[in-house]
Structures are given as C-alpha cells and as structure tokens.
Amino acid sequence: MRAQALIAILLTAQACAPAATPAPPPSAFRLDCSRTYEALSADVLALPDIKPAPRSPGEPYRYYATPDGTLAFVFTEPGAPGHPAIIRQVAARKGGATVMENTGCPYGDRKGFDQLMSYLGGLDTR
C-alpha cells in the first residue's frame, strides 16, 4: 500500500514538472559573425543533423547540409575567394521555384567574399 502511494506521489510530481524545452531546429541557427571562424565553424558542426556533403573535386569549398537539403553551410578552404568565410544557405520558395538564400561571414578578403556570394547566388539561375 505504501509503495502504491509513493508511486502515485512520484507520478504526480513528474506530471507537474516543467516540460523540457525542445531544441530549436537547425534552420533557426543564425551566423554570429562576431565569433571567430574557428568558433563559428565548431558551432555549425555541432548542429543536429548537419552532415558533410561529398567533396567536389577541384572546388575549394566544403559543404554541410541537413538530410532534406533545406539548410546548408559552405566553408571556404585555402585557395577559395574570400577565404576564410562561412555561408549559410536556406531553401526558400520564390515565384514557384526553390532558391537558396545566402548569408555569410567574411573573415578574409571582402572582394573575394563578394565574388563567392555572387557565384553561389548564380547557381540558382542555372
């Protein structure tokens, strides 16, 4: 009888406990360009469901994306315009088409970064 009462008390206490706050989806992640390239890279790679995409031979970029492709990140590598830089790409519907909206953090040459952003923006029109 006492065991049943104790179980009832524990179940009641558990029901009254505040629910755990669910983690925000990766798409809610915003780049904080005030953080260093290394720190921000670590933040991105710690996001749930972010996986590396296969490497493209000859491209000085490394892509990471969610399995559904709605969120991706581009990390420049040595030799890339604007390196180091991190770009966040989010899939968005525009005019009946899906395009990637790009935002980024330039840590290197600004002219090279602008070239990279233009290149990535042009991929949607091909």
Q: State both tokens at 120.
A: 């990535």
Residue 68 pLDDT greater than 70, yes or no: yes
The alpha carbons of the chain give a radius of gyration, in whole angstroms, of: 21
Q: Is the peptide bond before 78 cis (omega within 30 degrees of 0)?
A: no
Residue 7 pLDDT greater than 60, yes or no: no
Boundaries of every domain in the chain: 25-125
Q: Which residues is 97 bridged to in the sheet?
A: 94
Contact 75, 55 (CB under 8 A): no
Contact 123, 61 (CB under 8 A): no
Query: How confident is the model over 47-59, as pLDDT tens digits?
Result: 988 999 999 888 8
What band does 15 get if pLDDT is binned at 50, 70 and 90?
low
Q: What pLDDT, on the 0 to 100 scale, is given for residue 16?
A: 55
Average pLDDT score over residue span 93-104: 88
Residue 11 pLDDT greater than 60, yes or no: no
